[in-house]
Structures are given as structure tokens and as C-alpha cells.
């Protein structure tokens, strides 16, 4: 019987980096390739399998006991893409037993995995860690989640004595660039509740995400030969730098943690004529979230008042477009708390004490919860996502699969809830 690790080590060699500049969906061909491959694996598990024309993969497993057939279906969701923050071209992997001593990931690049840099490793002494070679990320986010879901269904099909209700799975593209649920078909998925298996370290669980928005500030300049530019040139690149530097330097991802929000200058590019500044806006509190968006709008007005040229024919140099991306899923999940009660039971069975954390990011579940499908997030056993320091604990991966098994059992017993 194939294990989660077996599936994972097969999947990491598909390059599924999403591309936020792409005009296609999915945004990269590797995602189509892996989804077609996964469709074959799901069919082998004898699930009713549908790969939509928008390349979301759905699987259905009916209840294996008549008295459970009418239970509200339970779903499991993961995404196939990896972050564009690092290369997704995994060249090799290693399995290393962590003794507490630093692990050299790549000597040439001086990449070392150590508790001095990543204190959470202190809890993983004795664990077997899967790492890549330092030239790419590993892909545990979120191929570990896919592998754990596949391992769950593999186990259930091999053990028909485990009674279960109707179950669903879905694998989505482009989650990392905020488009994982753009074409998600709730009717086709047909679940009443679900979990995303897209978290980090054991025993983390989250029913809360950031409120999220993106802002694009455009700066328009006026190009004149530098030798004759006096009082004529409007340098968009210079103005963009001043704008970016005008915000609180402590209100950034690298200076915030836990329940603190932030304003992240994600990218600046441009020249004398035109420059753009991309921001991501994040906050758990909806009022603070609204204030952060308003802060950018006010700053644009202030800079237009300061730098607008009235002596030459030029429009106001600054403009901004802000788009909401997803909302904190907590209030939506609390309206339909059955999935949280099931998770409480699931954690209790293997005697894992859950660690409830706010997700400092977003998941497919954030948007799905908003649409009426309550969808908290559970751990995969991975850490240091989106970069070459990424790792996956084999032991915690097994614990994740066990949690999913216990969730299925709790769901089958939920007629008593």
C-alpha cells in the first residue's frame, strides 16, 4: 500500500510553479501535467473522477455503509502549484535524521538548516526530514497535502471495514497567486464541509486567515534629456522610491508576527516615465484592514498634492488601484461549526493536542468559507515554505494522515452530534 511519503516523492519532481504574470489558467503548464497525472491516481483509487476544463480535479467516494449514505459529504482540499518565490525545479532530495546539529543543505551556497535560524527545529530532534538540494524549494507546500489526502483514500480503499460517509477531494491550481478557487465548482465538489490540508507544523490547525487585498500604485513621470531637465523632468522612479519609503518600516512582514497585520511592498519597477509599486495588504481585524487600504489612498492624495506640477502640462503623478483578495474565514466557519467539532474529536483520538493558530496568509479555504463551504486548515508537517530551507517531517506527515483518518471516523459517527 502506497504511503504519503511515496506519493510525495513522486510529486515533487513536477515543476508546478505558478506564474502571476501569466494570462492562462492554470498559469503554468506543469500544473496541467501534474493534474492529469493526479487524475490517473485518483481513478486508480476507484473514485468518481472529474478533471474540469479549468483544471480543478474532483474526486467522489460514496459512503460504504447504507446508514451513512445520507451524511453531509466531507471534503479534503490541497493545491498543486508551488510559490513563485523560489524555483520549483526540484533536482534531488535527501532524507536526513535530524539530531539537533545543523544540516548542510547546500555547501556551495552556504545554506544550512539549523535551530539557531529556525527555532522550531528543536521540536523535531529524531525526526526524518526531507529536504531538497538548495537550488529550489521542496514543494511540501502543498504537495505534502496532496500526498496525505491520497494516502488517506488509499488506506480507506484497502480497509473497507473502516466505515465512512460520503467523501470528496479536490486539487486546485494557482492557489499561491490567489486564484485557486477562481473556477472552483461547489456544486460539482458537493461537500457540506471540508478541510484544506495546507498547514505547517504538527499540531497546527487554523480557522482564521488574514483579510487580504492587493494595491498597485502607478507613478507617471515626464522624461526630458538629463542635461536640460531643470524644472522639467518628473522622475517616476524617484517618486516611487519616496512613496515606498514614506510608510512605517515596522509595519512590514519582517517586523510583525502572530496577530499583527502589515503592509508589504512586494515589488517596485519602473523608469523615469512610469513606475509601479505593488503592495499586499494584510490584517486579521476587518476595521484595521479597511484603515490600511484607506492609508494608501490618503498617501496617494498627499503625494499628488506635494508633487503635482501645475506649471507644465502633466496629470497628477500618482494613482492607485486596490482589489480585495479574500476575507478572514473565521466568522464564516463559526456560523457552521460542525467541522470544528469533528476536528476536536479527530485530534483527541490519537492524543494530539491541537495548536490553534491564525494563518498569516490565505488558503483556498478562506474564499470557500466565504462562499458557504466551511473549510479550516490542518497541518501537513512541513516548514520553511517558499524557499530553499523548506523541509518536511516524515513522522509528522504520518500524523497528518492519521488525523485525516480520525476525521473520517468522527464524520461517520457524527449522526450522534
Inter-residue contact 394 to 95 (CB < 8 Å): yes
299 phi/psi in degrees, rounded to 5: -65, -35
- Choose among 114, 7, 46, 11: nearest CA to 398: 7
CA distances from 121 to 26, 115, 127, 384 (A): 35, 5, 10, 10
- Choose among 62, 80, 81, 79: nearest CA to 71: 62
3-class SS of residue 216:
strand
The neighbouring-strand residues paired with 51 are 57
Residue written as grid cell 458537493 = 190
Give the C-alpha separation, 224 to 309, whole Å.
15
Question: Within 10 Å of residue 231's Cβ, how many Cβ atoms?
Answer: 8
Helix axes 4-11, 140-158, angle to 10 degrees: 140
- Choose among 388, 398, 381, 384: nearest CA to 94: 388
Give the C-alpha separation, 82 to 411, whole Å.
30
Active site residue 175: yes
List the alpha helices (DSSP H) in 192-282.
236-244
Give the C-alpha separation, 250 to 230, whole Å.
36
Task: Given the residues 175, 176, 198, 208, select the one marked as catalytic.
Answer: 175
Q: Which residues contact 228 (CB under 8 A, 6 or more apart)?
A: none
Please list the active-site residues. Answer: 81, 175
Amino acid at each position: 500500500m502506497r504511503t504519503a511519503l511515496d506519493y510525495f516523492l513522486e510529486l515533487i519532481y513536477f515543476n508546478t510553479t505558478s506564474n502571476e504574470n501569466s494570462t492562462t489558467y492554470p498559469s503554468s503548464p506543469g500544473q496541467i501535467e501534474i493534474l492529469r497525472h493526479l487524475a490517473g491516481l485518483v481513478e486508480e483509487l476507484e473514485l468518481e473522477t472529474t478533471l474540469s476544463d479549468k483544471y480543478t480535479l474532483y474526486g467522489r467516494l460514496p459512503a460504504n455503509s447504507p446508514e451513512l449514505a445520507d451524511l453531509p459529504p466531507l471534503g479534503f482540499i490541497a493545491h498543486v502549484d508551488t510559490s513563485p518565490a523560489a524555483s520549483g525545479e526540484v533536482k534531488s532530495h535527501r532524507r536526513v535524521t535530524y539530531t539537533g546539529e545543523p544540516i548542510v543543505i547546500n555547501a556551495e551556497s552556504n545554506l544550512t538548516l539549523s535551530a539557531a535560524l529556525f527555532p522550531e527545529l528543536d521540536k523535531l530532534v529524531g525526526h526524518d526530514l526531507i529536504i531538497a538540494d538548495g537550488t529550489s524549494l521542496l514543494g511540501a507546500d502543498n504537495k505534502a497535502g496532496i500526498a496525505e489526502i491520497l494516502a488517506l483514500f488509499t488506506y480507506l480503499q484497502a480497509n473497507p471495514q473502516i466505515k465512512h460517509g460520503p467523501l470528496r477531494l479536490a486539487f486546485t491550481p494557482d492557489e499561491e497567486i490567489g486564484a485557486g478557487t477562481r473556477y472552483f465548482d461547489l456544486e460539482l465538489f458537493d461537500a457540506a464541509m471540508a478541510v484544506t490540508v495546507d498547514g505547517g507544523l504538527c499540531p497546527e490547525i487554523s480557522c482564521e486567515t488574514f483579510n487580504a487585498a492587493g494595491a498597485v500604485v502607478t507613478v507617471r513621470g515626464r522624461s526630458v534629456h538629463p542635461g536640460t531637465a531643470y524644472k522639467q523632468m518628473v522622475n517616476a522612479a524617484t517618486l516611487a522610491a519616496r512613496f515606498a519609503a514614506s510608510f512605517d518600516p515596522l509595519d512590514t512582514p519582517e517586523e510583525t508576527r502572530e496577530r499583527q497585520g502589515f503592509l508589504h511592498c512586494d515589488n517596485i519597477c519602473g523608469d523615469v516615465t512610469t513606475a509601479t509599486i505593488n503592495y499586499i495588504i494584510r490584517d486579521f481585524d476587518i476595521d484595521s484592514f479597511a484603515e490600511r487600504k484607506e492609508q494608501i489612498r490618503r498617501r496617494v492624495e498627499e503625494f499628488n498634492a506635494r508633487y503635482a506640477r501645475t506649471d507644465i502640462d502633466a496629470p497628477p503623478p500618482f494613482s492607485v488601484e486596490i482589489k480585495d483578495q479574500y476575507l478572514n474565514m473565521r466568522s464564516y466557519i463559526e456560523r457552521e461549526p460542525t467541522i470544528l467539532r469533528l476536528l476536536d474529536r479527530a485530534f483527541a483520538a490519537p492524543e494530539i493536542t491541537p495548536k490553534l493558530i491564525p494563518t498569516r496568509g490565505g488558503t483556498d479555504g478562506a474564499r470557500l468559507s466565504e462562499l458557504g463551504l466551511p473549510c479550516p486548515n490542518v497541518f501537513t508537517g512541513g516548514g520553511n515554505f517558499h524557499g530553499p530551507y523548506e523541509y518536511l517531517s516524515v513522522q509528522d506527515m504520518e500524523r497528518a494522515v492519521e488525523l485525516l483518518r480520525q476525521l473520517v471516523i468522527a464524520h461517520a459517527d457524527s449522526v450522534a452530534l
